Chains A and B, each alone.
Chain A
């Protein structure tokens, strides 16, 4: 299923984030962030913060237990630790995005892919999710204490009955996309390093096309708000937080 085309007149920004890089921006309420896995090999690892009080941030546990899932997809919301909806997954051509696999670090990249330093490889050197998140978080005054477990879009980690984790290879496909509607102004921090469980030995994290477009009106029968009663309550809490907006 291809993503719904967005009229160019609604698109306010479009940008390509190469594999192994970072991106961040405040996505304003009323706008939607579209992520496209251009080559079908991306790990779009995403964290979300309230830009006016970054102590409020995407919370893995509340997002999972609130929606009774260990995966994210169409209809799900990313909840903050304050019981609010930050981002709503209003379109999704993949069906399973990973919220439990974590972030790659220097060790995990080295173990799977070996070493490629800047000295020899210049800007093709190997990057890891932790360093990229820390670099990008620093630009917003945030740091290691604010680095929580992200959502790894276009990635799948499942468990068996014993709880063993399984990483799915070739899960996504070229052109796969997901739309995240900002229900409040949301600082989005995105990195594109390999997933920590991605097998080696070829280091080839895919690029992500990022675009922002004006959201359509939030209708009474909104898919995400009615996905579960928890979502409706989280959205009601978000409306309270936004109640003094002009």
Chain B
């Protein structure tokens, strides 16, 4: 797997089935059918799209697995060609285009409690991706609970690892209009939190909108 596999898409947003702008700090949940394509656009750049997938026919038992994805491809970063695996070893989606080049899946989501640990106990009231995830699954009617919120993908987020065992959150390598696109290999539920983090550079200290585009 190359370090960065930049590839543009042939798909035209004018032909899309559905386009949705998700403001910073909001969540978006949608069913994506097998064969449909989902593009996530980093509209203004330097945003983080915290993303989970669930199998539509069994969301409580089959979901995206960060470690299955990284260990099966033998690489910790996501880019064009990466197959996104479930905890049951099935390919859920394949990344078909990527104009950013590299995405994280080890850094997890921000939460009120992780913000306390990372920044200050007083940070608890700040909005977070896990609050979005928990709110979304409680409202969704799929029967999901907190135990069904596993480690997620952070599209557009730059979390380099080092050979010495380091890991850091770095300023993004994304930019305005960059996107990542994936084809669903099974019917899935996509859950995206447009990251409201204000304590580190994952959203460039300025959270901005994402656009979700779905093609048949």
- In angstroms, Cα B151 to Cα A144, docked, is 15
- Interface membership of A233, Cβ < 8 A: yes
A148 — which chain B residues lie within 8 A by C-beta? 150-151
Tell me whether A158 and B71 are in contact in the complex, defined as CB-CB below 8 angstroms, given that A65-B169, A70-B106 are known contacts. no
Is A96 a contact partner of B87 (Cβ separation < 8 A)? Answer: no
- In angstroms, Cα B71 to Cα A103, docked, is 10
Q: Which 6 A-B pairs have the closest CB atoms?
A: A61-B108, A71-B165, A83-B113, A102-B67, A162-B3, A83-B117
- In angstroms, Cα B168 to Cα A135, docked, is 35
B67 — which chain A residues lie within 8 A by C-beta? 60, 100-103, 149
- In angstroms, Cα B74 to Cα A158, docked, is 11
Q: Which of B77, B116, B130 contacts A163 (CB 8 A)?
A: B77
Is B117 a contact partner of A233 (Cβ separation < 8 A)? Answer: yes
Is A145 a contact partner of B148 (Cβ separation < 8 A)? Answer: yes
Quick one: which of B76, B107, B163, B165 has the most chain A CB within 10 A? B165
A–B Cβ pairs within 8 angstroms, 5 of them: A70-B161, A83-B113, A145-B148, A147-B87, A148-B151
- Interface membership of B18, Cβ < 8 A: no
Instruction: Kindly provide the distance from the CB of A75 to the nearest chain B CB, expressed in whole angstroms.
Output: 13
Binary flags per residue of B91-121, CB closer than 8 Å to A gives 1, else 0: 0000000000010001111011111111011
- Interface membership of B141, Cβ < 8 A: no
- Interface membership of A51, Cβ < 8 A: no
A159 — which chain B residues lie within 8 A by C-beta? 75-76, 161-163
A residues near B (Cβ < 8 Å) are 55, 59-62, 64-66, 68-71, 79, 81-84, 96, 100-103, 105, 107, 144-149, 158-165, 196-197, 230, 233-234, 236-237
Residue ID in chain B nearest A82 by CB atoms = B113
Tell me whether A83 and B76 are in contact in the complex, defined as CB-CB below 8 angstroms, given that A66-B117, A70-B165, A96-B165 are known contacts. no
B165 — which chain A residues lie within 8 A by C-beta? 69-71, 96, 158
Tell me whether A105 and B89 are in contact in the complex, defined as CB-CB below 8 angstroms, given that A162-B75, A196-B71 are known contacts. yes
Residue ID in chain B nearest A232 by CB atoms = B117
Is A83 a contact partner of B71 (Cβ separation < 8 A)? Answer: no
- Interface membership of B127, Cβ < 8 A: no
* Prevailing SS type, chain B contact patch: loop
B148 — which chain A residues lie within 8 A by C-beta? 145
Binary flags per residue of B133-157, CB closer than 8 Å to A gives 1, else 0: 0000000000001111011000000
Q: Which of B160-207 contact A (CB under 8 A)?
A: 161-163, 165-169
A233 — which chain B residues lie within 8 A by C-beta? 116-118, 120-121
Is A61 a contact partner of B107 (Cβ separation < 8 A)? Answer: yes
Tell me whether A60 and B61 are in contact in the complex, defined as CB-CB below 8 angstroms, given that A65-B169, A81-B114 are known contacts. no
Is B75 a contact partner of A163 (Cβ separation < 8 A)? Answer: yes
- In angstroms, Cα B54 to Cα A145, docked, is 12
- In angstroms, Cα B145 to Cα A159, docked, is 33
- In angstroms, Cα B68 to Cα A71, docked, is 18
Is B117 a contact partner of A60 (Cβ separation < 8 A)? Answer: no
Instruction: Kindly provide the distance from the CB of A162 to the nearest chain B CB, expressed in whole angstroms.
Output: 4
Is B117 a contact partner of A144 (Cβ separation < 8 A)? Answer: no
